[in-house]
Amino acid sequence: MSQDKEVYSGYLIESLLAQGPVTVVYSAIDMASGLPCVIKTLRRDYPYEKQALAFLKNEIKILETIKHAACPVLLKTNTENKPYFFVMEKIDGCTLRHELGRKFSFGSSLVIEITRQILSLLSNLHGLGFTHGDIKPENIIIEQSGKIKVLDFAFSANVRMNEKLETNLMLGTPNYIAPELCAEVPVISLENDIYSLGVLIFEMLTGSLPYPEGTISQTLLRHQSDPPAKLRQQLGGLNPKLVNAIVEMLSFNLQDRPKAKNLVDIFVKFEIENMILG
């Protein structure tokens, strides 16, 4: 830790927040302002530095481009010399994964509220041609106010410009990955995010995944063989319109999934219905 304090001049590293295969995230204090912040940097033991730097730059590009309430504020970047890193605001809250571990599942009203906020960001992101690339509970922060922040845009791709990362890493997380990304030649599309969000909604409502955990090949086979009727059965007792939306989001064929902008309208209507019904 002392080495990190020396490396990131102007910042006092407080603690390790997260560590992935490519990056490390620290809680820190900006010594000039005294304000808390977060530093994201590259792992020193990752063998492919050029690839890792591409991930970091990719995320910086998104944070610079997307101005949305659910997107963290970027404060500083350094991609010119080592150590490569960026600084963003410190968010006071817990990950959705932590909250699911504590509560197991959420009521439909809270799920609708969280989903509508995520969809608002995705609608903005998709409108500019970008995917998020890794929607999952670990990448969603719930603030004390109930507002959410979406993290980790490293896997984002510009579908409109046909720009994608050259990597030997899986683009996404197995339990949340869309079927078309499991193929021998992965198909990157905006609808990848819609599928992942469908899995996330299902998990928030039921406390379990729509399909059992497994390898990528097992996941793909389940996607192809498990009928929507099974999903409907697992979601029994919920608003049929909400169930229909989730099943459509989990469609095996990406062309059958609704667009983020349309889903925003649908989930706003769900929120209004809940308010009317009390």
**Encoding tokens for residue 229?**
């009727």
- Evaluate whether 115 touches 107 at the Cβ level (below 8 Å): no
Return the domain boundaries, the chain.
2-89, 93-277
Q: Which of 134, 152, 193, 226 is catalytic?
A: 134
Which pLDDT does position 162 carry in this prediction? 65
Query: Per residue in 54-86, pLDDT tens?
Result: 889 999 999 999 989 999 999 999 999 889 999
- Cα gap 120→126, rounded to integer Å: 10
Q: What is the pTM of this model?
A: 0.91
The phi, psi pair for 264, rounded to 5°, reads -60, -50
Q: Is 67 left (phi over 0), alpha (psi -120 to 50) or beta?
A: beta
Which pLDDT does position 1 carry in this prediction? 45
Choose the weakest-confidence range: 36-45, 141-150, 168-177: 168-177
The DSSP element (H or E) to which 248 belongs, if any, is helix 240-249
> Per this entry, what is the length of the chain?
278
- Evaluate whether 70 touches 150 at the Cβ level (below 8 Å): yes
Which pLDDT does position 274 carry in this prediction? 84
CATH topology of domain 2-89: Phosphorylase Kinase; domain 1 (3.30.200)
Max CA separation in the chain (angstroms): 58
Residue written as tokens 């912040």? Answer: 37
What would be the CATH architecture of the domain defined by 93-277? Orthogonal Bundle (1.10)
Query: Per residue in 22-45, pLDDT tens?
Result: 899 999 999 999 999 999 999 988
The band of 146, judged by pLDDT with boundaries at 50, 70 and 90, is: very high
Closest-CA residue to 39 (of 75, 76, 87, 6): 87
Query: Is residue 92 flagged as an active site residue?
Result: no
Query: Per residue in 187-200, pLDDT tens?
Result: 999 999 999 999 99
* Residue percentage of the chain with pLDDT more than 90: 63
- First-to-last alpha carbon distance for the chain, in angstroms, is 51
Show the DSSP H helices in 24-107 as ranges. Answer: 49-65, 96-103
Exposed (0-12), middle (13-18) or buried (19+): which is 177, by Cβ within 10 Å? buried
- Cα gap 133→154, rounded to integer Å: 8
Which pLDDT does position 220 carry in this prediction? 63
Q: Looking at the predicted structure, is the pLDDT value of residue 6 above 70?
A: no
Which pLDDT does position 29 carry in this prediction? 96
